[in-house]
């Protein structure tokens, strides 16, 4: 999968069409949406109109909590694919482990069926803590390709990244820019940006890439969409990486996956 993609959380359906079209023009080929974002149709419209060949696109969507369970998962997948206007998906993720319901194993078995049937090219999870990943790996036969988790310099997810490395699971960072709140004004990040003649957002994205994370920054502003993919022409040095490592507070912006059970 491309190491850098485009996320569309909180982008209304009609705006998603414009934003995804701008991203595709800027060179993004990987798009991250979810059933709960309510913009699979708008995203699909942009994909269809772009003229980019299907095999060059990498499309991810996610199974919502309310649709967990074997049969419900298969139905939700059909609905997402229909809304996206696609005949196969590149990556399907279980959005949250939803521990209180106890159905992520059943849901994942449906994912394995979709994989076997060639309807999805890869399957994975999102917001899985190490204990959820271990039980999934013990009880099912396909190692998840990806765990998409909240990850940014204030929440570096050391334990999860270590487990992913051992199991060959790609770490995908959601809210890679810390939702643009505060993180991009942190003096250490601003100083590194000045040193390289780059923006703070580019420094944070470059940090993710050098760590080996997959990133899916979101923006609806064309200049920022372009800025966020222009991160392959410079490199952070050891001193920069150490300064960012020191910002870790293991502090979440989003919900705790151990308890989150919204439907």
Type and span of the H or E element at 125: strand 120-126
231 lies in the site for ligand NAD, by CB under 6 A: no
Can you tell me the distance from the alpha carbon of 108 to that of 77, in angstroms, rounded to the nearest whole number? 12
By CB under 6 A, how many residues form the interface with ligand NAD? 25
176 lies in the site for ligand NAD, by CB under 6 A: yes
Selected catalytic residue, list 37, 92, 104, 108: 37
Which of 48, 72, 184, 211 lies at the binding interface for ligand NAD (CB under 6 A)?
Answer: 184
32 lies in the site for ligand NAD, by CB under 6 A: yes
Q: What is the DSSP secondary structure assignment for residue 54, as one 8-state letter?
A: G
Q: What are the backbone angles phi and psi of residue 65, rounded to the nearest 5°?
A: -50, -45
Between residues 216 and 244, which has the closer beta carbon with respect to ligand NAD?
A: 216
Integer Rg of the chain from CA: 18
Among 158, 243, 252, smallest CA distance to 193 is for 243
Site for ligand NAD in 139-168 (CB under 6 A): 148
Which of 2, 12, 130, 180 lies at the binding interface for ligand NAD (CB under 6 A)?
Answer: 180
Residue 37 is among the residues annotated as catalytic for this protein:
yes
Between residues 51 and 200, which has the closer beta carbon with respect to ligand NAD?
A: 200
CB-based burial label for 59 (10 Å; 0-12, 13-18, 19+): buried
State in angstroms the smallest separation of the CB of 109 from ligand NAD: 21
For residues 37, 176, 95, 257, the Cα torsion angle rounded to the nearest 10 degrees is -120
8 lies in the site for ligand NAD, by CB under 6 A: yes
State in angstroms the smallest separation of the CB of 8 from ligand NAD: 5
Can you tell me the distance from the alpha carbon of 232 to that of 27, in angstroms, rounded to the nearest whole number? 12
Q: Which residues bind ligand NAD (CB under 6 A)?
A: 7-9, 32, 95, 126-127, 148, 174-180, 184, 201, 216-219, 224, 227-228, 254
Instruction: Kindly list the catalytic residues.
Output: 37
């Amino acid at each position: 999968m491309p190491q850098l993609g485009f996320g569309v959380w909180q982008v209304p359906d009609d705006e998603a069409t414009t934003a995804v079209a701008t991203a595709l023009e800027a060179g993004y080929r990987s798009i991250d949406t979810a059933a709960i974002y309510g913009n699979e149709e708008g995203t699909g419209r942009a994909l269809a109109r772009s003229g980019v060949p299907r095999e060059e696109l990498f499309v991810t969507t996610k199974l919502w909590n309310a649709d967990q369970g074997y049969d419900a998962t298969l139905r939700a997948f059909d609905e997402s694919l229909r809304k996206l206007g696609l005949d196969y998906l590149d990556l399907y993720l279980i959005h949250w482990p939803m521990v209180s319901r106890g159905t992520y194993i059943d849901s994942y078995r449906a994912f394995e069926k979709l994989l076997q049937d060639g309807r999805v090219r890869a399957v994975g999870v999102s917001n899985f803590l190490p204990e959820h990943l271990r039980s999934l790996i013990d009880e099912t036969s396909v190692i998840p390709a990806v765990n998409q988790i909240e990850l940014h310099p204030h929440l570096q997810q050391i334990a999860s990244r270590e487990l992913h490395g051992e199991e060959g699971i790609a770490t995908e960072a959601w809210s890679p820019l810390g939702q643009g709140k505060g993180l991009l004004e942190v003096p250490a990040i601003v100083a590194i940006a000045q040193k390289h003649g780059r923006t703070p957002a580019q420094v944070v994205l470059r940090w993710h890439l050098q760590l080996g994370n997959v990133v899916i920054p979101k923006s609806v502003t064309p200049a920022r969409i372009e800025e966020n993919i222009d991160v392959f022409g410079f490199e952070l040095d050891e001193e920069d990486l150490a300064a960012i490592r020191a910002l870790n507070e293991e502090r979440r912006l989003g919900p705790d996956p151990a308890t989150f059970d919204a439907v």
